[in-house]
């Protein structure tokens, strides 16, 4: 297959796909966009991803977006890396359920801190959204903490869900979540951060 390209940006959820690709041993090019200058809205990038977001993964067959879809695809494309329970539909669904919760609830809660303008135009409304982020993100952390028996999201085996949880759990403290209430998440962060593929992805991601 031809070489893939991952479009990423520092501090975004694209890190989860980046980690998955490094865990998989994939050979790919990394393009880091500068969100500060609005590069994700440039005509060049909109031609790649009309949604103007990262991650976007350019593959042989076309461009793929949406983190949960990318994570499952990377796991399926590199089965020898054992990054998902590919032979057990229920366990795979559990992984997808977790990834879906991160994407649709946790990431969305986080986005109300800096991206409130997506959902309201009024400055006071955007400020009201920002003010509630510590509460909503703490509620998300509590949901995750209660189910994280470890060492990994799915129990005994590392999966792409762990790199995704790591990516968003790194946002918690900055979003006003008091991490002393979430020891399982803190231990999980340390466990994931220690992995060579994760260290490499973090160093490469520039953020």
Residue ranges in contact with a copy of itself by CB under 8 A: 50-51, 59, 61-62, 64-70, 72-73, 76-77, 89-90, 92-94, 96-97, 99-101, 103-105, 107-109, 112, 118-122, 124-125, 128-129, 131-132, 136, 143, 146
Nearer to a copy of itself, 73 or 202 (CB): 73
Smallest gap from residue 199 Cβ to a copy of itself (A):
27
Measured CA to CA, the distance from residue 98 to residue 80 in angstroms comes to 22
Count of alpha carbons within 13 Å of 57, Cβ hemisphere only? 27
- Cβ neighbours of 133 (radius 10 Å): 21
Nearer to a copy of itself, 30 or 64 (CB): 64
The pairing of strands 56-58 and 63-65 is antiparallel
Nearer to a copy of itself, 75 or 189 (CB): 75
Phi, psi of 104 (to 5 degrees): -90, -20
Nearer to a copy of itself, 33 or 72 (CB): 72
Nearer to a copy of itself, 26 or 108 (CB): 108
Smallest gap from residue 98 Cβ to a copy of itself (A):
8
Burial (Cβ within 10 Å: 0-12, 13-18, ≥19) of residue 118? exposed
Phi, psi of 26 (to 5 degrees): -70, 150
Smallest gap from residue 117 Cβ to a copy of itself (A):
9
């Amino acid at each position: 297959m031809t070489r893939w390209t991952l479009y990423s940006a520092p501090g975004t959820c694209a890190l989860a796909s980046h980690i998955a690709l490094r865990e998989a041993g994939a050979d790919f090019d990394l393009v880091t966009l500068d969100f500060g200058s609005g590069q994700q809205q440039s005509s060049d990038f909109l031609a790649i991803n009309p949604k103007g977001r990262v991650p976007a993964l350019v593959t042989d067959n076309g461009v793929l977006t949406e983190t949960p879809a990318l994570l499952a695809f990377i796991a399926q494309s590199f089965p020898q890396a054992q990054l998902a329970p590919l032979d057990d539909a229920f366990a795979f669904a559990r992984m997808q359920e977790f990834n879906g919760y991160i994407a649709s609830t946790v990431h969305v809660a986080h986005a109300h801190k800096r991206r409130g303008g997506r959902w309201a135009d009024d400055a006071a409304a955007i400020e009201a959204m920002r003010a509630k982020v510590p509460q909503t993100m703490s509620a998300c952390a509590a949901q995750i903490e209660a189910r994280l028996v470890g060492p990994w999201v799915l129990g005994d085996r590392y999966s792409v869900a762990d790199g995704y949880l790591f990516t968003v759990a790194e946002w918690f403290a900055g979003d006003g979540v008091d991490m002393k209430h979430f020891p399982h998440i803190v231990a999980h962060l340390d466990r994931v951060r220690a992995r060579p593929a994760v260290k490499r992805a973090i160093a490469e991601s520039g953020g």
